[in-house]
Chains A and B, each alone.
Chain A
Amino acid sequence: MSKRTGVLGKVLGKQPIGSLFVTPYVVFLAAVFAYPLGFAVYMSFHDYFFTAPGAIVERPFVGFENYATMLSDPAVRRSFVNVGIFLLINVPLTVVLSLLLAYALNGAVRWRGFFRVSYYVPYVTASVAVVGVWLFLFNSNGLVNSVLGPLAPDPSWLVNSNLAMPTVAIYVTWKQLGFFILLYLAALQNVSKDLYEAASMDGAGRIKSFWNVTVPGVRPATTLVVLLATVTGANLFTEPYLLTGGGGPDGASASPVLIMYQRGIEQGNPDIGAAIGVLLVVGVLILALVERRFVGREN
């Protein structure tokens, strides 16, 4: 193959056939991720609303006006605090539970197949279908309060300003656990048996070998779990929408995406919705970089 020069050569690289193979995915990324994101940024800096084709409207550049409007809205500010609370509960809980359960399921337990399926079923079941069960469990006359008796909170879980978001976070943790257990199960296959044997010979018990062999051994998976849980958590919408009827009580479980939906779609202010979205993207990006720095660091 002759050596290419110039711009085309630089773009296509030494193996142009490779570029051909990645083209479909590049096109997909551009159409589904890059263009909508760019368009959202554009909308957030303009007085923008959706119109019928052919409608002639002014869409002037408004600078940070949409951001100022958004940040002056207490509901928006609260939604970011809410999602922060959600992530603080959901992400660590997801990591700890999915790792522990994967470790247990990786061992020679009875009914291993049954347990694996049991944990995975909620993940592949639509939230809409499962929410009814959780409402039955967590409403004031639900099973949980019946068990708790006089210790049951009043107001009950989903209508309590302090408990609504943690309840949603626990629900989401339970629902997604199966997927993250699967990631850890795959990672556990790659932890060398020799390391466990060596630890055993050095006198390490189960807990010590878990802490010193398993946890470092699945670190790449932990990084992925943390990032995915953060990103999916930041995009929380369905669960508060279904469980708490539009982010109640008094907005205590409203997420930024729920507010985006209200402002952008229901109320016809996509420019405000886009500004919320852009802020969310930036926030998640920063969070992801921080997590990557701390969770993904090498020993």
Chain B
Amino acid sequence: MKRRKVTAALLALGLTGVAAACGGSDGGGDADAAAQAKGEITVWLSNNAEEVAWGKQMVAAWNAAHPEEKVTAQEIPTGKSSEEVIGAAITAGNAPCLIFNTSPASVSQFQKQGGLVALDGFDGGKEYVESRTGKVAEQYRSTDGKYYQLPWKDNPVMIFYNKKAFAKAGIDTTKPPLATYDEFLATSRKLVAAKAAKFAIYPAPSNEFYQSWFDFYPLFAAESGGKQLVADGKAQFASDEGKKVAGFWRTMYADKLASQEKYTGDSFVDGTAAMAIVGPWAVATYKGKVEWGAVPVPTSAGKPANETYTFSDAKNVAMYSACKNRGTAWEVLKFATSKEQDGKLLEATGQMPLRDAVATAYPEYFQKNPDYQQFADQAARTVEVPNVPNSITIWQTFRDAYSKSVIFGQEDPGAALDGAVQKVDQLAKQS
């Protein structure tokens, strides 16, 4: 009897213990030698089909010119998120040299892990980052003053609208009234009342830390004239601008113009929502399915498009410390982010290279694809996630407060944002 009790207890302990366990290791490496070293390297690309196609041609072009420094490209291994996979690879010491899918929100964490290589350490590294990116580069500088990521491409978030749904509701499809919160709400009510779509817009209402990048943050960037969530170690979201944005979204949820329920699939493509809040990467998925238009995100009083900021939804390139042949990796990084390769990326994916004056740098592309012109214009006014310690914890803290108050209405949104400020300030100060 006693033995059976112990067995049962051990069974419980063992099975539960598996969930509680992880591990790390320690090793060594010579960074200075690695910075000069040349040879074969591996790079990871995102799982996006268009980006994979771009990556393959880029690697083929490099390999043709540098047979002694062969680059092998592969898609990032599957996981719950690419950040999780990269974090595990850093810990295991088997991260590739370059990852063309590094989320700026994760950079501070990867840096803390000792997983990233500062690009300033290479000859002309700092100058290269700043010359390719312009003044926006400042948003990507880490708190120690160094660059651990090369800004690569962004997807300025805008409001996409379904022209057919708008026409059905009797709303102008060329210049829809969506510039101010009042206009946006009135348009949304019209759409739902006319049964043009079940919901006016359908931002993901789930609780993942990054979901605020596609509801609150673009509108906050616009309303505040380009402020980040955290600036100078202080939370900015509980300002009047932040509360206005939260109030706007609260009305959208309270009036059932946006849904509180998780949606499986693409609500915009399915016609469940008449609008989407997303970047130009989605254009390819709408092709032949939705006749769309796009406008900047709304502000409380309305701002001209050329003064409206939004969230960048950028993905960058970073070099990882597991890399042995960093000399080659640095050259590949520069090759892959050259004007020529940026142009090929734009052509292949429709995503905006994170460079100064994209529209004038690739005039032929925008003549051929006028739909993308507005995204190029918008790309000049984007706000990145703040590059601060505990970035993801900060976003989760914010999301929890936002979700409880704005999406589910269980607390006053203003009070919820005020309540999250102290914790966010503490997190931003930690190293």
What residues make up the interface of A, taking CB atoms closer than 8 Å to B? 29, 32-33, 35-37, 39-40, 43, 48-55, 57, 75, 131-132, 135, 139-141, 155-156, 158-159, 161, 223, 227, 230-232, 234-235, 237, 243-251, 254, 257, 260-262, 264-270, 273-274, 276-278, 280-281, 284-285, 287-289, 292-293, 296
Within the complex, what minimum Cβ distance (angstroms) separates B228 from chain A? 19
A140 touches B114 (CB 8 A): no
Known: A52-B322, A159-B261, A246-B208. 10 other contacts (CB 8 A): A37-B13, A51-B115, A141-B198, A245-B207, A249-B260, A251-B400, A251-B404, A260-B20, A277-B16, A293-B5
A40-B17, A264-B22, A268-B109 known; A288-B9 Cβ under 8 A: yes
The docked-state distance in angstroms from the alpha carbon of A53 to that of B20 is 22
Per a CB cutoff under 8 Å, which of A32, A43, A231, A250 touches B408?
A250
The docked-state distance in angstroms from the alpha carbon of A48 to that of B23 is 10
A54 touches B262 (CB 8 A): no
Per a CB cutoff under 8 Å, which of B8, B80, B113, B261 touches A51?
B113
Residues of B within 8 A of A246 (CB): 206-208
Residues of A within 8 A of B404 (CB): 250-251
Secondary structure of the A contact surface, majority rule: helix
> 0/1 per residue, B69-102, Cβ < 8 Å to A?
0000000000011011001001111010000000
The docked-state distance in angstroms from the alpha carbon of A33 to that of B407 is 41
Chain A residue nearest to B7 (CB atoms) is A292
* A-B pairs with beta carbons under 8 Å apart, 11 shown: A36-B17, A53-B27, A54-B29, A231-B15, A244-B262, A246-B208, A248-B403, A260-B20, A264-B22, A266-B209, A267-B209
Residues of A within 8 A of B209 (CB): 262, 266-267
Per a CB cutoff under 8 Å, which of B205, B393, B400 touches A269?
B393
The docked-state distance in angstroms from the alpha carbon of A260 to that of B17 is 13
Residues of B within 8 A of A40 (CB): 17, 20-22
A55 touches B114 (CB 8 A): yes
A52 touches B114 (CB 8 A): yes
Chain B residue nearest to A231 (CB atoms) is B15
Chain B residue nearest to A266 (CB atoms) is B392
A274 touches B15 (CB 8 A): no
A158-B261, A266-B83 known; A54-B393 Cβ under 8 A: no
Within the complex, what minimum Cβ distance (angstroms) separates B216 from chain A? 16
Task: Judge if B48 is at the interface, Cβ distance under 8 Å.
Answer: no
